[in-house]
Amino acid sequence: MGSAEADAVFARWLLLALAPVIVAGPLRWAVPAWLLATNLDATGSGVASHAGVGWLNAFKAVVAPVWLLLRLRRTPGTLQRGWASRCWLGLAAWTGISALWSPYPLAALKLAFGMAGMLAALLMLERATREGLVDDGALRLFLLGSLALALVQSFFFADGSFGYAGRGMPQRFTSFVAAQQFAALLVAMLCWLMWAPSVSERWRTVGVPALAAALGANGSRTWTLGALAALGLNGVVGRFRRQHVVRLAGALVILVSVPAIRRDLVQRTAGEPANRLAATASALLKGEDRADGMGLGTARFRLRMYRGVWEAVRQGGPREWLLGRGAGAGGRVATRLFPYAYRPETLDANRVVHNEWLRVSYELGLLGLALLGIVLWGLVALAWRTRRLPEGMALAGYLPALLLGLTAENMLDGAGNAVTTGVLILAARAAAARERVEPIRGT
């Protein structure tokens, strides 16, 4: 068995071990067990989304949150009555309906069920927060557990598929999910940490640079920008008191002194691989990329993909503009533009466009884009209404990173995965706290 398979097998067995706790354990253990499980992709990379159903991932993404929601049904919740939640459910339903004309109908159906699972997870987490199951102590343990899994992946599966960045490139720091997905979780946890009401300033001052180090080793440029935006907002809100300046300075120092980055910025032998952040900074400063394209290569790929999808949108008629080409149809554009990189047997049609605005416009039309916009506006409204509470500020701090992520990644296909776990936690905690500032009318 190759190492690329071994890390997925480890994730699979660990998920199997957590499953009985999620299903039958006390809620004080079941909810944290599900949160930890979102760091585990039982399928691994390189599996076509239209080739079959990953049943363990389906359990984690859909069955487990629905089951936990049923177990918490006696706890009152408010999000299910909100217009944003209803629009999200409508978007999920529309995604499923679009399978009728999608070139990859199974991928479309999987995305639809996954989006419904994300709503179930959000409703479940709101109720769990009201029960005290997702308090600051639980999130501290969740963060430590996530980092521990990332260390296990890095030390024991260093040449596996999850942190793989390409031949000759350094392994990216991640748990048993794709590196970009883990980076999204790190930024969400950074926002929680900066505004967590019961976390001491000393713990915060240590934890923020530690998360910056994890992001530096991960190498995500999109989510690092999001983290810097959150740190900046934290400083502005706190009027840049000493502790805010220390945290921001510490994060910046860490980001330029992680060994993999420092080797690239200071001295590097000809064959030494670069960190993605350092290679990008070097390419921007020098106006010249590395020969292997480590700095701006993925940016060029994205721009070519965006142009191809936008041209496909423009070539459609009124029906395509309104209804779209079907969820997963972006995979057809990818195989046409990059026939050597994307093959039918390994294509994940739900994760190739790397821009949710363009993907939804092309695949689900103006109807889908309008529903997505309403949902995002609901998150902004929730953050605004709870801005005087730490939970609301944590969500507000994450929103710039979320918008960047939607612009450079595919986040909607993230049910039961680290890429959406963070934003679901922050939104659920803000919703649960909202009644402290105003009567509940729906979000």
Q: Is pLDDT above 80 for 2? A: no
Q: Is pLDDT above 90 for 295? A: no
Q: Is pLDDT above 60 for 239? A: yes
Instruction: Using DSSP, state whether 176 is helix, strand or coil.
Output: strand
Q: Measuring CA to CA, which residue among 182, 229, 212 is closest to residue 400?
A: 229
Amino acid (1-letter code) at residue 310 = W
Q: What is the pLDDT of residues 20-44, one digit of tens each?
A: 999 999 999 999 999 999 999 988 6
Better-scored residue on pLDDT, 234 or 111: 111
Specify the pTM.
Answer: 0.90
Q: Which pLDDT band, with edges at 50, 70 and 90, does 172 fall under?
A: confident
pLDDT at 257: 65
Please give the mean pLDDT across all residues of the chain: 86
Q: Is pLDDT above 80 for 261? A: no
pLDDT at 115: 96
Give the residue extent of every domain in the chain: 3-436
Q: Which pLDDT band, with edges at 50, 70 and 90, does 424 fall under?
A: very high
Q: Which long-range contacts (CB under 8 A, 24 or more apart) does 233-237 make?
A: 233/396, 233/397, 233/400, 234/194, 234/195, 234/397, 237/393
Better-scored residue on pLDDT, 204 or 282: 204
Amino acid (1-letter code) at residue 30 = A
